Structures are given as C-alpha cells and as structure tokens.
Structure 1
C-alpha cells in the first residue's frame, strides 16, 4: 500500500463517508468513477458514474443494475438452466454498492477513478450468489475460528500480436505470440517486453498493488507476475485489478492478453497458483509457522493442508471452471493434476512451504489463470478450514514426480468439467461452506457451459472428418 493509499485509509476512519468522497473527488478533479462487481466467471461488470452522482448518492446507496449479471454467461447469452433469475422473473434490479476501501485513481486516465463494488439483493443484504460475498463469508468463518486468512496470487498469461478487435476479425486464427520460442527467465528477452510489463507494474503500484516479480515464462509470449501477499479479500481484489490492467495495457499497445488456461496443446498452460496461510487474530502471529520444527508446518498448517488435499477433487469445478481448464492438466505440464502434496514439490497439487516464520504457507497449484480469484481463494479457505475443524491429517507426501503416480480414484482430480460439476454438486463441504443455493447456481452455469460445448462443431472435428467420412 502506497503512502497516498495509507492516508486515504486513515481519512476514512476519522471522517464521514461523504466528506471523504467529496475531498477525494475535489482533490483529484475526478469527473467519472468506474464502479463494478465480479460475476460468476470473474468478469468485472459495472458502470461509469458521474462524479456528481457518486458524491451525492451512489457512494452510499449504490446504483441499481439488472440481475441478469447472474443469469447469463461470459458472452452475455441468457442461461435458461438457472433458477435464480430469467425471463420468468422479469430480470429485476439488484444493487451495486461500492466498497470505499477500494476507491482509487485510475492510472493514466486523468479525471477518472475506480472502485470495486459488492452486489446487494432487494432486501439490502449482500447477494449470496456473488463471488465476493462468498469470499467475505469464508473470511468471517476463518475469523470465527480465530484466524485472519492471507493469500497471494501468481498469474501466468499470454500476449499475442494484434489487438482483440483485429484478432476477433480473423476468428482468433493464426495468432502470433509476442515472442518466438521459449525463453523462461531470460533477462535479455525481458528487456524487449518491459515497455508493457513495466507499465503494468507501475499502474498496479499506483493502486497499492505490489508486484514482487515478473518474468518471461515457459511458452512463446507467456509471462508470469507475482503479487505480494495480503488479506484474502484484498488478494482477490488485487488479482481482479491485475487481470484488468494486463488486458488494458496490452490492448493500448496493440496486443491481446489472455488468461485462458490452455492456448496450444503443444505448450504449457497458464496457471493461477495461490499461496495461502493464516495469522492468529489474537496476536497476529503466523499460524502455520513451526518454531520447533521449521521443516514442517505447524499442526494447524498440516490440518489446513490436509483439508486442501481432501477436498481438491470435489472443489475442482471452482479451480478449473471451463471446458478448456482440464486440458492444462494433461501430461507433465507443471499443473497440480492429482490430489497430492509434497515439500517444495512443483508436481503435486498442494505444495508445502514450511518455515519458522511468516513465510510458512501452502501453495495450491491446481487453479488455472482462467478461474475466478474470489471463488478460488474462497474454495481454498473452505477446504483448509474444514481440515482444521475436522482435525484432518494429510496422507504421506509425494517424494519425486507426482505425474508418475498411478492415478487411482483416491488421488484422481476430475478429468473433465462434467466430472467436476458432478463432484461439486454432491460435495457436502461445498454445501456446508457455500450454501446449497450457491452450489445449485454454480452447477447450473457450468452445465450451460458443457451444453454449449457439446453442441459446438470444432476445428478438430472438421480436420478429422470432413474429407474421410
């Protein structure tokens, strides 16, 4: 958090909301405020509000928006399968209300600010189906057990020549990657991308989001960025803004950025690894730290890890939300493709990183870059807290290559979205932590994704069958 952000946070504590908002708008000559909340697919949806309207009313009362945001897919196509809303309900309003702790200047946009919002229902309650609400609930549950959850995202993404409009005109065919060949960690090659990556890091820093490191990754045109850790809700907010910033900067420079999980069957996919830990609320100390045996996590850390391993199959639909997600798991592809764990092992799903201090944590390597960060962190918390509540102990760690293990039923993560949806629908952990309404709604949206995929004629089918049959 930069000095200005710290000052604004302090101002919020001692001045009424309206006074703070008025001062912010006046000081920075704000004309428009971009306000949005996160839908099921992790897209930032919202409005641009005049600063006048925001100051007079919307900073407190929010702005109404159609609840179709939870009744359609990422292509804005109405989903007939969902029961929450539809033409039968008339698509009434819900309320988009800003979380003023996230109000910030919009970098390189003079006169513009941005703020993340929560969704509220018509009774004035947080919308139970909204991903940010789900994560808030998990944070509250952790605090009820005496812990403050901490998380940090590592994102991989690809850059392609041509802006999104140009590539869409070509049907997304023959995409040219930003770089040719694999140049992982190449300091020399990274100099050539600094005009974009440097802009991304600077813009994020101006918003209080600290990128610890960035580098070229394993695939042509692939990059990785590591966000500094923070409390769980901020970690998800930071991940959202990072994705948004990467796409904006790429488009401004005439490129297309994508967080799609698997672009090419011959290359590695893009991951969204999440580091997780807990601090004790009472004293702020790291709950996973083990002073007596720094080579192992504490008992609390081990139970949390055991919960992640135990629930990795039934919560896979949140970690791997699209048809494409599961192609990233094929082969030795640096993805957590089995319900396994190990010490500093990058072939397992849950990587244990023990320490005597705050560095003690676990890393979930299953999620793809395409997953909704709010739901991924919430799912990690649900699984880990279940491990603590149930006093679970982990199985034996994997020593060596987890990809070489025989994938028996006890360690096999679902191989398709259909299998994952069925496991999620029947998950007692998911129902207990997220509520049956959310489980039902999420399952309905994923089944719509499956239905659309099954009806699609793919390039593979054309190439395979058109001449030979």
Structure 2
C-alpha cells in the first residue's frame, strides 16, 4: 500500500530519531494492544521513522481479538506516542512505542489506549491527574515432562512467601528483570518471593495512569522474553495452582492536583489518612465494583482466585467483599498505612490496564461528582461474618464467575459510557463467548470424576 504524504518531522521528533540512531537503534516497533492487553505491532526500520510517526503502519482489525472491525473495513493506523519510547533492554537495536489506533485520520473509538485517555481527559477537566502504581505478581516456571514446575527444587514450601533460599536460587532471572526495569528508570524499590511456589513480585514507583498502563504492557513482554532467554517461561495466568494463591495486580490509586502535583487523597487529620475526596472516590468504585471486576479480572481463571474461603496462605489473598477498610487486607479496597492512596486488591495480573484503569477511574470520578459517601471503614476481619450477617450489613460480594461479571458489566450504564458503544458491545460479546466456550470444554476433572463412575 502506498505511504500517505509525509510531513517533515518537527524538531523534537528529529532529535528523537537522531538520539536513537546515536544509540545504535535500527528498528522501531509501532505497538498497540488487543482486547487482552497483549502487544501487537509492526517493525519499522529507523530510516522510515518519519512515516511511522505519522501513521504509516496499518492493521486489519478483523485479524485480532477485540479490535472490532469487519474484514471489508479500512485498516486502522498505529500512531506512536513519542513520550513512550523504550529501547528494549535485551536488544538495544529495537525501540518500542506505545501507539493509539486511528481510523480515517481520527482516533479509533475502540482503541484501548484511547479509551483510557478519554477518561483521563475527564479527570483533567476536573483538575485532577490520576496516579497509579501496580504491584506486579507473576510466576516463573520451567517446562518438564509432567508440565511445569518452579525453577528451584527447593521451591516446595506450603507457605513460600518471602523465602530467601528460593529468591537466591532465582537470582539470575530476577536480577535480569529488576536490572532491566531500573535501566528504564522505573525505580524498583523491592522484590520478593510471593505466597505460591514459583511466584514473585516486583514493586516500583507509581506514575500517571497512562504511563503505568504502557509500562505494564511492556513489563509482561519484557519478563516473558527475559525468562525465555534463560530457558524458563513466565506466566501471567492469574491462578495456575488450584490450592495456592494467584497473581494479583493491586491498583494503588490517588488523584493529584493537575497544576501543583499535590496528592489530593492525603489528609493527616483523618483516622485513615484519607481526604474527603478519597472517600468519595472509594464510594464510586464500590458502587460499580461488579462491572469493574469484569475488566480488572477478565478471564475464566480469574474467578478461581476470587473465592470466599478466606485470606490464608496457600489459598487466596484476594478479598471478595465489596467494602473498604483501613490497613486491612480483607476488604476489596484498602487504605494502606499512612493513607494518601487507595488500593484495589481484586485486580489480577491478566488485566488490560488501559481498560481496567479507565473503568475504575470513571467510577471514582462519578463518586466525586455526586458526593457519594462509602460509610465507615471496616477494620475487622470480614471473613468472620456469615452470609446473613453480611447481608444485614448491606455488604455484597464480587461476582463468582466470569459469566456473572460480564452480566454485571453489561447491565451497568457506566460500562458503555466508558468504553463507547463499539467496545462495550465487543467486550460483552467476546467475554460472553469465552464463558460459553469454557462450559463447552470437557475438563480433566470431569473425565476423572465421571468417565468410569456410572
């Protein structure tokens, strides 16, 4: 296909191209995500950088999951964001660019990154910047004849959290990951072995939500590539073990003043350290929690992490109660010690952060606009209450299955408002079909239980 007319690059983009050339970069990736938050894109020689930055790279949406186009539609174009440029730490000849999708010269309404930017614009119009930190939990395994197992043969404790021997056994791959993150300026401040065998977490400094969504998208690509280079594989499946904890992606959220950068969720005079604005934000999220979780926990497997058996090692640390508390991990929303931020503990590592952040921010902004009140914080262990007691307190639980979550998403007006009509319908249809496909599958559990039973 012939290139569109190319306008000479402005001085900033010329300087960026020159800097990349000086660094030895040969190729650029114009990358965007599908409905799963998985990166797609094309590779462009740096000599064609000017064309790429003006949308030369075209894609057939019908060839992808959740990029809603028919096969006879015009292609969408990737418009790279120069601020997102990231040279691959494992291959310095390639630079990655997060991109928005355009159609016919205008933003494509069903582009995941554009959906988040629309909600961020709403926040900006109210004078806010949405800051977001993500706690990245993931598994590193090696292939075996029986399937997979942790890298270390000592990684076999029933309560594996914070185990130092197995961190040291995995030092080489963990150091590669953390060194790569720090080379990109992400400022990792800790990492550890998590609760399940083969499970790890990295914690790094928060930033604005768009940048964090770009970083999480790149993080999953990077960790998989680095693990593969050492003969292992990284898994971002929420719950690969039935009897061990799953991988969360806790959203740590705050609003800052757009002009001064001041954290507007901080209030030292409050018992939890949270401002009235923060409580209103919480109330909005709780109001729409069931719809939100369809996006922050987007797979069939996600709901095997969101169970009600309790927050004990070896099972789950993902509370299912639609309530909030202080520094209390048995609530869906937690105000960590010191206040100034709100943590959503329900989200898992399979989340498409562009869509998840858009939904949760929109809900929080609604809570602020409407002056909603979330009630008093719960400081007690929510798992000690019976169903009747919770019902009497007016506390509901998160959806138990993807099917329930998709229904809640479909019925909540916020969903279409955030996603737009095209992505709203696409998301509902795609996830409803995923749930139907799951029920049509004959599992090993069914064969073992029923094949010779009757």
Task: Return the offset for 1:40.
Answer: 0.8
Q: What is the aligned counterpart of 2:446 among 450, 454, 461?
A: 461
1:176 and 2:161 are equivalent in the alignment? no
Q: What CA RMSD, in Å, does the superposition of the two structures yield over aligned residues?
A: 2.0
Residue 206 of structure 1 pairs with residue 188 of structure 2 = no
Aligned to 1:370: 350
Alignment-derived partner of residue 6 in structure 1: none
2:191·2:203 contact (CA, 8 Å) conserved in 1?
yes
Counterpart in 1 of 2:105? 124
1:336·1:365 contact (CA, 8 Å) conserved in 2? yes
Q: Give the deviation of 1:66 after TM superposition.
A: 1.1
Report the 3-state secondary structure (helix = DSSP H, G, I; strand = E; otherwise coil) of the residue aligned with 2:106. Answer: coil
The answer to whether the Cα contact below 8 Å between 2:17 and 2:46 also exists between their aligned partners in 1 is: no
Say if 2:209 is the partner of 1:232: yes
Aligned residues of 2:268 and 2:274 also touching (Cα < 8 A)? no
Whether contact under 8 Å (1:149, 1:278) holds in the other structure is yes
Equivalent in the alignment of 2:380: 400
Q: Is the 8 A contact 1:35 1:46 kept in 2?
A: yes
User: Residue 38 of structure 1: CA displacement?
Assistant: 1.2
Contact 2:227/2:234 (<8 A) preserved:
yes
Q: Tell me if structure 2 keeps the 8 A contact 1:213–1:226.
A: yes
2:190 aligned with 1:190: no
Counterpart-to-counterpart distance in 2, 1:369 and 1:379: 16
Work out whether 1:305 is the aligned partner of 2:282. Answer: yes
Task: Give the secondary structure class of the aligned counterpart of 2:374.
Answer: coil
Name which of structure 1's ranges 265-274 and 187-196 shifts more when overlaid on structure 2: 187-196
Q: Check 1:118–1:312 CA distance in 2 against 1; reply closer, same or farther (3 A cut).
A: same
Displacement of 1:252: 0.8
* 1:257-268 correspondence to structure 2 within 5 Å: 257-268=234-245
Counterparts of 1:311-350 in structure 2, within 5 Å, are 311-330=288-307, 331-332=309-310, 333-350=316-333
Corresponding position of 1:430: 415
Q: Which runs of 4+ in 1 moved over 4 A?
A: none
CA distance in 2, matches of 1:445, 1:226: 32
Q: In structure 2, how many angstroms separate the alpha carbons of the residues matched to 1:41 and 1:22?
A: 31
Q: Which SS does the other structure have where 1:315 is aligned? A: helix
Deviates more, 1:95-104 or 1:424-433: 424-433
Quote the residue 2:399 is aligned against.
414
**Partner of 2:28: helix, strand, or coil?**
strand
Question: Which 5+ residue runs of structure 1 have no aligned equivalent?
Answer: 1-13, 74-81
Q: What is the Cα deviation at residue 348 of structure 1?
A: 0.9
Flag the 1:316–1:295 CA change in 2: closer, same or farther, 3 A: closer
Give 1:85's match in structure 2, choosing from 56, 59, 69. Answer: 69
Report the CA distance between 1:294 and its aligned residue: 5.6
What is the CA deviation profile of residues 91-124 of structure 1, one whole-angstrom value per residue up to 9, with x for unaligned ones?
A: 5410011111111221131422221111111x22
State the match for 1:53 in structure 2.
48
In the alignment, the residues of structure 2 paired with residue 390 and residue 413 of structure 1 have an alpha-carbon distance, to the nearest angstrom, of: 23
Q: 1:39-94 deviations in whole A, cap 9, x for unaligned?
A: 1101011111111122x411223411111255x36xxxxxxxx9x423xx425410
Structure 1, 345-354 or 212-221: larger mean CA deviation? 345-354
In structure 2, how many angstroms separate the alpha carbons of the residues matched to 1:250 and 1:336? Answer: 30
When the two structures are superposed, what TM-score results if normalisation uses the length of structure 1?
0.87
Q: Deviations over 1:298-321 (max 9, x none)?
A: 110110011111211122211111
Give me the whole-angstrom Cα distance separating, in 1, the residues matched to 2:14 and 2:430: 41
Say which is worse superposed, 173-182 or 197-206, in terms of deviation.
Answer: 173-182
Deviation, 1:15, is 6.0
Query: How many residues were matched structurally?
Result: 431
In the other structure, the counterpart of 2:124 is 143
Query: Contact conserved, 1:290 with 1:354, CA < 8 A, in 2?
Result: no
TM-score, scaled to structure 2: 0.90
Which residue of 2 is the match for residue 42 of structure 1?
37
SS in 2 for 1:424: helix
